[in-house]
Structure 1
Amino acid sequence: MSNRQAEIAAALDVVPPFADQTVLIREVERRKAFIKSCLRNAGLKVLVLGISGGVDSSTAGRLAQLSIEELRQETGDDAYRFIAVRLPHNVQHDEADAQAALQFIRADIEDCVNIAASVQGLVEQVDHLDPLNAARRDFVIGNIKARVRMVAQFAIANAHNGLVIGTDHAAEAVMGFFTKFGDGACDLAPLSGLVKGQVRAIAQYLGAPEQLVFKVPTADLEELRPGKPDEEAHGVSYAEIDAFLHSQPVSEHAYATIVRTYDNSQHKRQLPLVP
């Protein structure tokens, strides 16, 4: 273990490896208690989350639904609701997985907002995109998609006086693998501090289908590379990222890549700079 590994793990409040199933269950209960306390402290009764069809949103969504059901039972107040919203850009290539995620989550309310027209409308008005080469333009538009999804979720939450859930966890946070003020924007992030393997373990415990638990993770924001694996973008595997965050030995390449990416993406994990 290096000093940087320990420093980064502490900064991200990384949860130690689950020693056994009892520890995992305790962590699930702690996360549900956190979700419930966020709503109670805000004096609100509705949660909103975008469902992509990946393990992260599936896990966060099921935790949210269970938390809402417990709140209804504990308070006798049927106004508590969880809204799971699909946010495809035209037709999503892995729509079957998104539908499987919804079936697993069993949200109180399901909605769908297709963001394609909004994204295209904005792109048409931003002339600064025109001179970009195809790859760079595709990348910028991918971030626009993430930010439009954020706007849609907050619009739904605002309409219901609710809170927006984010799906960021330690393995994504360390790599800065989220769009600033896009999918990185939320009111609460119940998966924070978990590594990818722990998210998968919780999903499995909650009964998620294997196709979602072990699905190859992808942000799926680029038209030129639909379904591009996260690990290809990272340059390291999630297994290596998890090991790094748990202060376990990793290759020199993985260590250097993770530390460099963490340092370069520091601005994403901070509030706006002020004088």
Structure 2
Amino acid sequence: MDEEQQSISAALGVSVDFYAEREVQQRTEFLSHYLRQSSCRSFVLGICGGVDSLAAGLLAQKAVSELRADGYHAKFIAVRLPYGIQADESDAQKSLAVIRPDRVLTIDIKPAADAMLDAVMVEGGDLVEPARKQFHLGNIKARQRMIAQYALAGATGGLVIGTDQAAEALMGFFTKFGDGAADILPLAGLTKRRVRAIAEHMGAPAELVFKVPTADLESDAPLRPDEDVYGVTYEEIDNFLEGKAVAEPARLRILTTYQASGHKRDLPVAPIG
């Protein structure tokens, strides 16, 4: 591992060693402890059908089950947040069947997302490049989903779980104040292959664990693979984070993207201190 790789991996919390069983125990305890410490009573998480929300959901359900066994009233609320009809809805339903949440709700974000974009276009249409319209709508979708999750958390004395992990954090592959906004991040510091290992260890089927990752935000490119957007593979990203050798073109792509997306990982800046 060169010095730059080591510095970035450390900043993103990627550990040298990884054992799925130990990580499941520690991250479950982390969720349980924080919920009790905050005097909250529920976790809320959007389930999309991908392995990140699957793994986070399994950890959340395990945490609240253990809390209840210890006499602390807690529940896990899983929420489906489709934009109309989701192309891979069947995978989301399979994920829910594996997780077995205490409560499942469905909130269609399409009316709210479309209304917001329409409102922006009334006076700001000249500022939106036509070729980028679906990209902007995708970010609106992500933020509408978080609005819904916080509404549910507020109603149930809950905390919103985010699915951010080290591979996406490295590439800045999240929407600021959308899927990048949450109260607690049980997958932080994990590479994609390690998230998969946790899900597999917790009994998730291979078809969900190794499903091709997609953010599915742009309506004109449904289920576009994350790796197409990155220009590098998750294997290369994970190898970079785990200190393994990476081909120079991929390394440069990763470093350039990491540096350009730095503002997404920072808290809001202020002219003091």
TM-score range, shorter chain: over 0.9
Counterpart in the other structure of 1:240: 236
Counterpart in the other structure of 2:66: 70
- Distance in 2 between residues matched to 1:40 and 1:129, nearest whole Å: 47
Partner of residue 202 from structure 1, selected from 192, 198, 212: 198
Partner of residue 52 from structure 2, selected from 27, 50, 56: 56
- Runs of 4+ deviating beyond 6 Å: none
Q: Deviations over 1:9-54 (max 9, x none)?
A: 0100102243xxxx32111100001001110110111000000000
- Distance in 2 between residues matched to 1:89 and 1:254, nearest whole Å: 33
Residue 105 of structure 1 aligns with an amino acid whose one-letter code is: I
CA 123–130 in structure 1, closer or farther in 2 if over 3 Å, else same: farther
Q: Deviations over 1:166-224 (max 9, x none)?
A: 00000000000000000000000000000000000111111112111000000000011
- Distance in 1 between residues matched to 2:195 and 2:131, nearest whole Å: 31
Counterpart in the other structure of 2:5: 5
1:189 aligns with 2:185: yes
| Residues 17 and 246 in structure 1, CA contact (< 8 A), matched pair in contact too | no
- TM-score of the pair, normalised by structure 1: 0.96
- TM-score of the pair, normalised by structure 2: 0.96
Matches within 5 A, 1:1-275: 1-18=1-18, 23-75=19-71, 77=72, 79-127=73-121, 128-129=124-125, 132-275=128-271
Q: Deviations over 1:31-89 (max 9, x none)?
A: 001001110110111000000000000000010000000000012x4x31100000000
| Residues 135 and 224 in structure 1, CA contact (< 8 A), matched pair in contact too | no
* Structure 2: gaps (5+ residues): none
- Distance in 1 between residues matched to 2:178 and 2:105, nearest whole Å: 19
Q: Give the superposition deviation at 1:131.
A: 5.3
What's the secondary structure of 1:48's corresponding residue? strand
* Structure 1: gaps (5+ residues): none
- Distance in 2 between residues matched to 1:226 and 1:110, nearest whole Å: 24
Identity %: 52
Q: Deviations over 1:107-146 (max 9, x none)?
A: 0000000000000111111122455343301101100000
Residue 15 of structure 1 aligns with an amino acid whose one-letter code is: S
Count of paired positions:
269
- Distance in 2 between residues matched to 1:120 and 1:229, nearest whole Å: 24
